[in-house]
Amino acid sequence: MTDAPVLEMREIRKTFPGVLALDGVDFELRRGEVHILLGENGAGKSTLMKILSGAYQKSAGRVTLDGNEIEVKNPAHAQSLGIATIYQEFNLVPHLSVGENIFLGREPVRLGFIERREVNRRASEILHGLGLDLDPRRPVKGLRVAEQQMVEVAKALSLDARVLIMDEPTAALTEHEIKELFEAIRGLKAKGVSVVYISHRMEELFEIGDRVTVLRDGRSTGTFDVRETNKFELIRLMVNRDLTELFPKEHAARGAEVLRVEGLTTRGGLRDVSFSLHQGEVLGIAGLLGAGRTELARAIFGLDKVERGMVSINGQVKRIGSPRAAINSGLGFLTEDRKAQGLVLPLSVKDNLCLPSVDKFTRLGFVDAKRERQAADRYVKELRIRTPGLEQKVVYLSGGNQQKVVLSKWLCSEAEIFIFDEPTRGVDVGAKAEIYQLMNRLAAAGVAIIMISSELPEILGMSDRILVMRAGTIACEFGAGEATQEKILECALGE
């Protein structure tokens, strides 16, 4: 590794309507290093890299490659400069073979025909160089996620990329696959390729990174040698506050029973589910994918038809046949997929926030916009939602702020029972802590919470009581302090 910078970005600024995304960021990449880019969602990591890869145009600043100033016009131009990007969503054509994908658009041609043998020979060479034993004739659609990712890497190498940008490359990989990927990255380093590696995961940073640059609110808060820093310092730099405790659980007083579910059975796969929920309680629901956790939430919220069983709220049996009925009974549902289910992206913060409770603001069919604004303004302030205004479209907010808008929706509808499905998925460390704090405040105010989560530390850290689901029914129940990761997993797996 030499210390000469391959690439320098100086004083990069980028503005979007109403938002300053990057405010004079400096970034430097040396030859053969793995440079980690760290920051909360919305800190500007992706924006910075999109400028480098030509997807966005910078508003101001200077980029130099090998000392020459460059102006990256578009992604194709970036590729020709030797800058390749591997996004979380792969750009592969599923029906084409590995080799065809690697050379897509640049196929060796003779007399108008693609030289398939040449494609496969060269693809094999590159794949071998990556330490990968993959038949270039196999169609991409049959490959594992990790293998597809390696095809993307191979594609980048076939372009003679000198700078490789990887956006959360390990998000969908297993432990073993991550090891393989890291081996490949080390191989690339040895060949002098520089890697920009965007990740949320602290553990990976210390394993694969050489240097790390932390972004916060569109500014760089510093670049460090990975060996000379530690997790807590980096977290502090990311969020500008100390996180001594990741799960700031406070136990609220347990009040009266608000929700009682008995023998709930649905065609969607729930079998005879019974449990109860009290005011001020956080009920964690753990289980493997497909164990019926989301189905349970959907059934209670009136989205799936209930075949047998009953739901009572505050001691009264309710027939909940639609989300409207559920909302009227005091339920609120924060879905797993914010963008697909939680928010109407082209609508404003205010309109999203008031959507479930429009009735409350409506007189004779007319919506009282003034009262809506007052209500929305209150929640924006209370939850510290960062937005340039109530009329900002939610699509322009960061993940954490979007989640807060969803939460406000149900606060505004005065829900007394909150169902959180994967509340912190895709949310960064700082926003996570804020969401946990909000859960504490809700519980303290007497709200009852059902928290469905795949993250065991979250379940253990935040729940007063834990239910483990398996095959559509509740398999075990644990009190606070009783459960451990091992016990929950044992139960979820049915061992």
Partner 1 sequence: MRARGIGQSSNFFSHYARQLGTLSGLLGLCVVLWAATPFFLTVSNLLNVAEQAAIIAIVAVGMTFVIITGGIDLSVGSVLAFAGVVMAEALHRDVPVPLALAVALGTGLFCGLVNGALITLGRLPPFIATLGMMSVARGTALMFTEGRPVSGFSGGFRSLATGEVLGLPISVVIMVGVYVLAHVVLTRTKLGRYTYAIGGNEEAALLSGVNVKLYKAAVYGISGMLSGLAAVLLTARLNSAQPIAGMMYELDAIAATVIGGTSLLGGEGTVVGTLIGALIMAVLRNGLNILGVSSFVQQVVIGSVIITAVLIDMWLKRRAG
Residues lying near partner 1 in the complex (CB under 8 A): 16-21, 23, 42, 44, 47, 217-218, 301, 303, 322-324, 326-328, 333, 335, 340-347, 351, 355-356, 358-359, 362, 365-367, 369, 386-392, 395-398, 409, 413
Output the smallest distance, CB 324 to partner 1, in A.
4
Q: What is the DSSP letter of 393?
A: B
Contact of 455 with 264, CB cutoff 8 Å: no
Nearer to partner 1, 110 or 363 (CB): 363
Q: Which of 51, 73, 55, 57 is nearest to 7 (CA)?
A: 51
Q: How far is CA 373 from CA 142, 159, 382, in A?
A: 51, 53, 14
Output the smallest distance, CB 21 to partner 1, in A.
5
Nearer to partner 1, 59 or 276 (CB): 59
The H or E element spanning position 274 is strand 273-278
Q: How far is CA 426 from CA 168, 286, 404, in A?
A: 11, 18, 13
φ/ψ of 181, rounded to 5, equals -60, -45
End-to-end CA distance of the chain: 49
Output the smallest distance, CB 112 to partner 1, in A.
34
Output the smallest distance, CB 167 to partner 1, in A.
17
Q: Which of 379, 376, 390, 352 is nearest to 18 (CA)?
A: 390
Output the smallest distance, CB 314 to partner 1, in A.
19
Spatial separation of the C-alpha atoms in residues 29 and 7, rounded to whole Å = 5
Nearer to partner 1, 301 or 420 (CB): 301
Helix (H, G, I), strand (E, B) or coil at 493: helix
Instruction: Give the other-Cβ count within 10 Å of 208's Cβ.
Output: 21
Nearer to partner 1, 18 or 494 (CB): 18
Nearer to partner 1, 279 or 392 (CB): 392
Nearer to partner 1, 358 or 471 (CB): 358
Output the smallest distance, CB 223 to partner 1, in A.
20
Nearer to partner 1, 56 or 436 (CB): 56
* Region of 137 on the Ramachandran plot (φ > 0 left; ψ -120 to 50 alpha; else beta): alpha
Output the smallest distance, CB 403 to partner 1, in A.
13
